[in-house]
Structure 1
Amino acid sequence: MPVTLNLVYRDQLFPREAYRRAFDVLRKRLPDKKACRIMVDLLALAHERGCEAELADQLTADLNDGRLPDLNRLRTHFAPDPAQMPNVVVRLAPLATYECLIGTAEIGGAA
């Protein structure tokens, strides 16, 4: 049995009621190990994408429609919009430029 099932404070891990409800439904329909894995992935998605409230709304909608959360769909839904991503150009300096930082003094040698 996965460790999270035995935690005294397990329900405190869920940021909102929708997450607890999703875990309960997942446990009813799937083996405990798979339900735990999906729940960890959902919590990670909420954290990494900063979408805790919006994800809770999606979970509620899925559960109300009798569907289990679809991680692939949710990851796609909460993925960053490429059009909104900044275009970053990195210009690397030639390695020879760093030679001036080393200087001509020998390491460990006399000054």
Structure 2
Amino acid sequence: MFVYIPIDGLFYIGLALIALISYPIAHLVMRIGKTVNGAFYALVAVSLGLFFWLVIWFDEAARQRDMGTIPVVFNFAFAVLLYATFVALSYFVLRAVYRRTQVNR
């Protein structure tokens, strides 16, 4: 049984996968390097690289499917808003986890 998922749906699934890939890497960097800033920079580097790759993929897929300009622009704008929210929340979560692990030592 085949389920059709629209291209913009795959785009948002890709955004969720970026979060699921980049946060554990940042957490690992925090545990090894013992700094929040290093973990945050690792998170931004990995997630930004994957985000740009996803945007390029979505642009090509939208062109092949003849998606209009306005839906593509709205999807890009909403994706940037979601990405900025993810980065901000990740910073606060990483900082809280770092403080909690420092208290337990």
Q: Same fold (TM over 0.5)?
A: no
The structure, 1 or 2, with the larger RCO (C-alpha pairs under 8 Å, 6+ apart) is 2
Larger relative helix fraction = 2
The two structures have a TM-score, normalised by structure 1, of 0.29
The two structures have a TM-score, normalised by structure 2, of 0.30
